[in-house]
A = this chain, B = another copy of it.
Amino acid sequence: MNGAKQKPLLRALAGERLDKPPWWLMRQAGRFLPEYRALRTRAPDFVDFCLNPELAAEATLQPVRRFGMDAAIVFADILLVPMALGQKLSFGEDGPQLEAIADRGAVERLRKDGIASRLEPVCETIRRCRAASPEQTALIGFAGAPWTVATYMVEGGGSRDFLRVKSWAYRDPEGFQALIDLLIEATIAYLGIQIAAGAEALQLFDSWAGVLPEAGFARWVIEPTRRITSALRARFPEVPVIGFPRGAGLLYERYAAESGVTAIGLDTVVPLDFARDRLQTRLPVQGNLDPVLLVSGGAALEGAVNAIRTALAKGPFVFNLGHGVVPQTPLENVAALARLLAEPL
A-side residues, CB < 8 A to B, are 161-163, 166-167, 170-171, 173, 210-215, 217, 247-252, 268-272, 274, 288, 290-293, 295-296, 298, 300-301, 304, 307, 322, 326, 328
Contact = CB atoms under 8 A, between A and B. Distances in A.
A171 B296 contact: yes
Given A167-B295, A249-B269, A250-B269, 15 more contacts: A161-B291, A161-B292, A162-B292, A166-B290, A170-B292, A170-B296, A170-B301, A171-B300, A210-B247, A213-B268, A213-B304, A214-B269, A215-B307, A249-B250, A250-B271
Contact of A171 (B270, B272, B298, B307): B298
Contacts of A249: 210, 247-250, 269
24 contacts: A161-B292, A161-B326, A162-B292, A163-B292, A163-B326, A163-B328, A167-B295, A170-B290, A170-B292, A170-B298, A170-B300, A171-B298, A171-B300, A211-B268, A211-B269, A212-B269, A213-B271, A215-B307, A247-B247, A248-B249, A249-B249, A250-B271, A251-B269, A251-B271
A162 B328 CA distance: 12
B250 A213 contact: no
* Listed residue (A212, A250, A270) with the most chain B CB atoms within 10 angstroms of its CB: A250
A211 B292 CA distance: 11
Contact of A272 (B210, B214, B328): B214
Given A161-B292, A171-B296, A247-B249, A269 B217 contact: yes
A167 B292 contact: yes
A234 to B, nearest CB: 31
A295 B163 contact: yes
Given A214-B269, A214-B272, A217-B269, A293 B170 contact: yes
A68 B213 CA distance: 27
A300 to B, nearest CB: 4
Nearest to A289: B213
A215 B293 CA distance: 13
Contacts of A274: 250
A20 to B, nearest CB: 23
A215 B269 CA distance: 10
A271 B255 CA distance: 13
Contact of A269 (B163, B210, B272, B291): B210
A270 B210 CA distance: 10
A208 to B, nearest CB: 11
A46 to B, nearest CB: 19
A268 B250 CA distance: 12
Contact of A214 (B171, B248, B250, B271): B271
A254 to B, nearest CB: 8
B166 A292 contact: yes
Contact of A213 (B269, B296, B326): B269
Nearest to A251: B271
B213 A167 contact: no
A26 to B, nearest CB: 13
